[in-house]
Amino acid sequence: MNPLLSIRDLTVRYDSRHDKAPALRSASLDVSVGERLAIIGESGSGKSTLALAIAGLLPRPARIQGSIDWFLPLDGKAPLGGRDIGFVFQDPSGSLDPVMSIGKQIGEVIRTHLGLGRRAARARAAELIERVRLPDPRAVLNAYPHQLSGGQRQRVAIAAAIAAGPKLLIADEATSALDTIVQAEIVTLIRQLVAEDGMTLIFISHDIALAAELAQRVAVFRHGELVEVGETADIVTKPRTAYTRSLLDAHLGLDAAPLLDLTPPVPA
Amino acid sequence: MNGPLLAVSGLSKHYRRAGKMVAAADDVAFDIQPGQTLALAGPSGSGKSTIARLVLRLIEPDAGNIRFEDADFLALGGAALRARRARLQMVFQDPLAAFNPRATVARVLDDPLRIHGIAERSERPRRIAALLERVGLPTELAQRAIHEISGGQRQRVAIARAIATKPSLIVLDEAVSALDVSVRGKILELLLDLQREEGIAYLFISHDLGVVRAIAHRVAILDGGRIAESGDARAVIDVPRSAIGKALVAAAPKLPAPARTAS
C-alpha cells in the first residue's frame, strides 16, 4: 500500500513546563492511502491531540517536536485543512455557523477550495446533501443548524468536510454524542463515503468495539503514548498488551456475562 | 411495605415544539420492586430523561399517578415532600454540572446531612469520612475541591451524596455514560455492591443496552414517549420483539466473537 503520511517521534506539549507530561510522546505511525485506521484510547490518551496535529489544527501554544511527512502532490507545501483534509468533530454545532443556512455553509467550502461560482457551488451543495442522505435536500439547503436534529447536523458537518474532495477524512469522536441507532447510521454513511471517494479515514474513538467494526487497523493510545498498532482482527483477538486486553474486557457487549448476581435473595 | 417501591401509571407529559404538541411521556406505566433495578432504554428523544425528571418531581406531569413508598407522591408538598425526597435520590451524567465546582468534597457531602437533619454538626465529619470510604474514596479527598478531582472520583462523590440520606431509590440518568470504560466498570460494581448491601433500588436510564443487560433486573424500552416493550432485562435484550428494541440491539457495537476471554 502507498503511504499517505508518516509520523515520526511526534511529541506535543500544551504546557511549556517540562515537568508536566506531554499530551503526546514520541508517537510514530504510518497511514496508507485508502485505509481505514482507528485511533482509540481513554481520556488523556492523546488521541485527539494526534488528530489535531495531523490536521494542522493544534492551538497556538502547543509545542510540537518530531515530524509528519505527507506523500501528496503538494509541491512541498503543507496539506490544507478543508481541501486536503476533512475534519468531523464530536459536536457539529461547534463547526457550523448558527446564523448561516446549511446551503451557504457547504457552498462556502466549495467556493473557497474549488473556486466555483455561487450557482455551481449551490448545485454541488445540493448533491452533497443528497449524498449524506438527508431527507428533502432543497429544504435542508435553506435550513439553519438549530432546525436539524443532532444526527442531521452531523450529516451536514460530514457533507461540509468532504465538500472539497479531501484525500483524508478525520472523524474525532464524531458519533459519541449520538444515540446508538443514529451512531450506527453515521458509521455506515462514513464507510460508504470513504469507499466511494477513495478517501483515507482516521476514526478517533473511545469505543473499541465501534472502532473494530469500522477500521482495518487499530492504534491504541494511553497517557500520550502509542501502546500498540495492528490489524483489527489481531488487536481484538490477540492483543499484545495488557492494556488493550483490559479495554476489550471492559467492553460490555450484548453477549457479556452479567455483572448482576441474581442468586442471592434481594433484601426486603 | 408490601408491593412495589415505586408504581407509576398513566404518566404523561407534553411539550409544545414548533407550534405542535409533542408527547415526551405518553401513558407510561411501570413498577420498581424494592432493591431492584429497572432500566429505561431508548434513543434520543424517546422520553427517558423526561420520565426521570417526572419521577423526581423536578417537573410536573400533565396526567398520571406516582406512588412511592406507599404514598401518593404527586400529592405531597412542603415538609412532607422534602422528607420523602431524602428517600429518592439522583445521580446525573455530569457531576461537574451538578456541583459547585469550587466547593470541597466535604461541603458537597455535608449539605444533605445538614438539610435533612441526619447528623449533628459535630458528628458530620465522621459521617463524611464514612461515606467516602463506602464509595471507595480516600478520606483525605474531603478537603479537595470538586474541580480538582477526576471524573470517576466525582461520580463516586455524587453517589456518596445520593446515599447520604439513606434512600430506597436512586435515579441514575446516564450516570456512567461519560466515564472511561475502565472507570465505568468499577462504578457499576460499586452500584451493585450498594444495592446488595443496602437494598437500594435504581431507576437506571441509559442508551447503552450492553450496560443495561449487565446490571438491570428489568428493562422498559421507550420510543416516542411510550413504552414499546418491557420485561426481564436479559430476555428482552436477547430477543427483542418491538421494532425499536430490534433496532437498538442491531445498532449496538459488537466485538468480533473470539475477542472475549473467559472470565
Look at residue B101 and give its three-state secondary structure.
Answer: coil
Measured between CA atoms, the residue of chain B closest to residue A151 is B44
Position B144 in a domain: yes
Position B6 in a domain: no
What DSSP state is assigned to residue A81? Answer: B
Q: Which of B34, B238, B254 sits opposite A253 (nearest CB)?
A: B254
More confident position, A20 or B219: B219
Q: How many CB atoms lie within 10 A of CB B30?
A: 19
ipTM: 0.88
What DSSP state is assigned to residue A218? Answer: E
Does B126 lie at the interface with A, CB-CB under 8 angstroms? no
Phi first, then psi: give them for residue A226, nearest 5 degrees. -75, 120
**pLDDT band at residue B2 using 50, 70 and 90 as cut-offs:** confident
Q: What is the mean pLDDT of residues B86-94?
A: 92
| Helix/strand/coil percentages in chain B, nearest 5 | 45, 25, 30
Position B191 in a domain: no
Contact B185, B200 (CB under 8 A): no
Does A251 lie at the interface with B, CB-CB under 8 angstroms? yes
Element (H, E) at B141: none
Q: Do B254 and A254 touch (CB under 8 A)?
A: yes
Measured between CA atoms, the residue of chain A closest to residue B238 is A254
pLDDT at B5: 98
Q: Is the pLDDT of residue A38 over 90?
A: yes
**Per-residue pLDDT tens digits for A126-183:** 999 999 999 888 899 999 999 999 999 999 999 999 999 999 999 999 999 899 999 9
Q: Which of B45, B210, B257 sits opposite A252 (nearest CB)?
A: B210
Grid cell in block for residue A111 = 467556493
| Domain membership of residue B145 as a residue range | 95-166
Contact A166, A201 (CB under 8 A): no
What DSSP state is assigned to residue A146? Answer: G
**pLDDT band at residue B263 using 50, 70 and 90 as cut-offs:** very low
Does A66 lie at the interface with B, CB-CB under 8 angstroms? no
Distance, in angstroms, between A234 CA and closest chain B CA?
A: 9
DSSP state letters, B145-207: BGGGS-HHHHHHHHHHHHHTT--SEEEEESTTTTS-HHHHHHHHHHHHHHHHHH--EEEEEES
Contact A266, B221 (CB under 8 A): no
**Per-residue pLDDT tens digits for B3-52:** 899 999 999 999 987 788 889 999 999 999 999 999 999 999 899 999 99
Distance, in angstroms, between A252 CA and closest chain B CA?
A: 5
Q: Do A254 and B216 touch (CB under 8 A)?
A: no
Q: Is the pLDDT of residue A78 over 90?
A: no
Q: Do B249 and A179 touch (CB under 8 A)?
A: no
Contact B162, B88 (CB under 8 A): no
Does A265 lie at the interface with B, CB-CB under 8 angstroms? no
The lowest-confidence range among A258-267, B22-31, B171-180 is A258-267
Rounded CA gap, B1 and B39, in Å?
22
Q: Report which of A263, A153, A206, A228 is spatially closest to residue A44, judged by C-alpha positions.
A: A206
Does A250 lie at the interface with B, CB-CB under 8 angstroms? yes
Q: Which of A247, A261, A268 sits opposite B181 (nearest CB)?
A: A247
Distance, in angstroms, between B249 CA and closest chain A CA?
A: 8
Position B254 in a domain: no
Contact A176, A150 (CB under 8 A): no
Contact B102, B147 (CB under 8 A): yes
Position B158 in a domain: yes
Grid cell in block for residue A131 = 449524498
A221-249 b/e (C-beta count within 10 Å ≥ 16 → b): bbbbbbbbbbebeebbbebeeebbeebbb
Q: How many domains does chain B have?
A: 1
Element (H, E) at A205: strand A200-205
| Angle at CA of residue A91, ends A89 and A92, nearest 5° | 80
Position B102 in a domain: yes
CB within 8 Å of B33: residues ≥ 6 apart: A266, B4, B5, B201, B217
Spell out which residues of chain A touch residue B259, defining contact as CB-CB under 8 Å.
212, 236-237, 248
Specify the residue for cell string 496539506: A79
CB within 8 Å of A112: residues ≥ 6 apart: A82, A164
B163-179 b/e (C-beta count within 10 Å ≥ 16 → b): bbbebbbbbbbbbbbbb
Position B194 in a domain: no
Contact B165, B116 (CB under 8 A): yes
Position B151 in a domain: yes
Q: Is the pLDDT of residue A264 over 70?
A: no
Grid cell in block for residue A185 = 447510521
Helices A102-114 & A118-131, crossing angle to 10 degrees?
A: 120
pTM of structure: 0.91
pLDDT at B18: 75
